[in-house]
Structure 1
Amino acid sequence: MTKVHVSLPEDAEEGLQAFIDEVDGRLASDEDTCTVVRDTLIDLFGDREAWERWQNGKPVSPATRVRLQGYDPCNATLEAEYYAEKDEAKFKRSKHLQWLWRQFDATPMADNVAFALRFRQTLADHLFAEAGDNLRIFKGVTFSYGHNISVGDNTVIHDDVHLDDRGKLTIGDRVSISDSAHIYSHSHDTVDQTEVRNYHTTIGDDARVTYDAMVNAGVSVGENAIVGARSVVQGDVPAHHIAVGSPAKSVKVKPGFEEVAEPLDAGGERRADEREIPYELPDDIEAFDEFDRDLDGPVDSHRRE
């Protein structure tokens, strides 16, 4: 093994656990989530004095006011807020928790591994559809909503990973996702890029998605498989296979699993259509084309087909 146990001094451990327990308890209560997030961020950023001054009617600079208002997620928007097909009821709370997650990562405490891993586990317990035990999520991990993610036990997700759950994302037990990997659950139409399709993407138990790799929407990475660094996975990776390249192809079966693994030529099937998650948009939605194009030409014709 290459890891050792590390512990904090007793007084530091006591303080951080008290903070986590307080936030956890407030998030589990009926208290307004915006208020919990706002209060937590004000204290984490050391802005309580400025907040109280502003609340007591004393003047603050415009920049200070923007900063103080910005601790409240009700005063912010996120990219996913603009997605037309989102579940409005689920997203309302997910947005608030995601705001706390992202802003926490901007604090110095986000680099204190012993504290930050436990705090993100607590947030994941409230945000994800499922969050397994001993989930280790490092700094800079982002996601679309959060509430369409399920993660198993003893999984580790390293720095700057993007977990797109615009569709649905299921990650198994003991999975390792390395720095800067991107795992997607939605794709855009080749003609009309504003047309989105959502899928269910899965990463099996004991799988590894290594550095800077990309897993496309609707892909299944099988149990105990490995996706090589900077690979682009467009089709399924069978269990126990090692897939590398762009597009990724199975090049080897992990030693010791030859008798139970499928042959190398079994990999690469694109089965996303079987895993599409259909959705309907409200009739009264005020949709718009963010590229401000003339839709009377090929794009509109394609849409009507």
Structure 2
Amino acid sequence: MTKRHVSLPADAEATRRAFVSDVDERLSVAETPDELADAVTETLVDLHGARDAYEAWLDDDADVSPTAAARLANFDPRNATLESEYYAEKDEDAFARSKPLQWLWRQFDGTPLADNVEFALSFRRMLADHLFADVGEGVRLFKGISMTYGHNIELGDDVVVHDDVHLDDRGELVVGDRASVSDGAHVYTHDHDVVDQTEVTNYRTEIGDDARVTQGALVRAGVRVGENALVGSRSVVQGDVPDHHIAVGSPAESVRVKPGWESVAAPLSDAGERNQDQRRLDDDLPADLDAYDEFGRDLSPPDA
């Protein structure tokens, strides 16, 4: 099925261009994390139409309830915490810049503009330029995408990521040209030890050119979904999917090669190899880390 061209009315298109350009300029001139946080705060204040209330609150000119104060303070990413902020192995310098940008992404998706496809796609594409490690041309990023940091994500040209997808980049995530990740899919780059869930290993996860990860699928950390491969709906991919293969099920298994690619595809017997160790990433924890075990359990197995 082909698609048709859709365009906004001329006035709305001019507004879209001005809006995206204005926010892009605010972010581009910010040289430090604090300046970036200021730019995000100002953008969110304007986006929510709260300029008068926000400035009155800053100047203590208004009798503001605790609930209203919480709403106004929440425009500033420095007043927020994200789950990924607690991860000990994160790159502190990179996260200092990605946190305000990720906060802007999440808060934008909670506004009515996020449902205006033409506005939202162009806004997220602009924001991805500031947030991701690399992003190609023609990328389309739909509503409700979540990520760990953002700064460990690489997207090729014409990648499509649909609604409510989770892109975990606690490790490294690379998505090739023209690949697509469908609604509700989860792609992971980190794994937890089966005995001690606080022990985390990070990996590089790869989705090849022209690959498709379809609705609700889960791709485990360290997996490679090959070029032109397809992962079926609701599948759980624990091993590599070779180029041109179709993998379905939980755990996913290659069931066939795409018609017409048989001569260049690996045999089905070669599918499902676990190559995590080849894509394992080493973490350098800071020497002065004040680490803690949030569970404090005795994890000594009786048969150790």
Q: CA deviation at 1:248?
A: 0.5
Q: CA deviation at 1:287?
A: 1.0
- 1:105-254 to structure 2, matched below 5 A, reads 105-254=109-258
Once the two structures are TM-superposed, the CA of residue 52 in structure 1 deviates from its matched residue by 2.0
Partner of 2:7: 7
Matched, 1:68 2:76: no
Partners of 2:92 and 2:181 in 1: how far apart?
A: 29
Out of 47, 54, 63, the position equivalent to 2:57 is 54
Q: Which moved more, 1:237-246 or 1:285-294?
A: 285-294
Query: How far, CA to CA, are the matches of 1:63 and 1:104 in structure 2?
Result: 21
| Residue aligning to 1:26 | 26
What CA distance in whole angstroms lies between the structure 2 residues aligned with 1:273 and 1:52?
Answer: 53
Shift of 1:57: 1.9
Structure 1 position 285, deviation (Å): 1.1
- 2-side partners of 1:9 and 1:56: how far apart? 40
Give 2:260's aligned residue.
256
TM-score, structure 1 as length reference: 0.96
Give the structure 2 partner of residue 45 of structure 1. 48
Aligned partners of 1:263, 1:165: CA distance in 2, in Å? 31
Cα RMSD after superposing both structures: 1.4
Report how far residue 208 of structure 1 moved: 0.2
Shift of 1:25: 1.1
Runs (4+) of structure 1 exceeding 3 A deviation are: none
* Number of equivalenced pairs: 300
- Matched letter for residue 95 of structure 1: K
CA distance in 2, matches of 1:274, 1:14: 49
Q: Give the distance between the partners of 1:208 and 1:148, measured in 2 at CA.
A: 20
2:201 counterpart SS class: strand
Q: How high is the TM-score relative to the length of structure 2? A: 0.96
Q: Which residue in the other structure is 2:16 paired with?
A: 16
Given the alignment, which residue of 27, 35, 39 partners 1:36? Answer: 39
**Quick one: distance in 2 between partners of 1:274 and 1:259?**
27
Gaps of 5+ in 1: none
For structure 2, the residue ranges without an aligned partner over 5 or more in a row are none
Contact residue 30 and residue 39 of structure 2 kept, 8 A? no
Secondary structure of 2:248's partner? strand
| Aligned counterparts of 1:134 and 1:231: Cα–Cα separation in 2 | 27
Q: Does residue 278 in structure 1 map to residue 253 in structure 2?
A: no
Question: In 2, distance between residues paired with 1:252 and 1:235?
Answer: 16
Query: Any idea what the Cα deviations from partners look like across 1:124-155, whole Å, max 9, x if unmatched?
Result: 00000001111101000001000000000111
SS, match of residue 124 in structure 1: helix
Deviation at 1:265, TM superposition (A): 1.1
Q: Sequence identity, in percent?
A: 63
In 1, Cα distance between the equivalents of 2:117 and 2:80?
Answer: 28
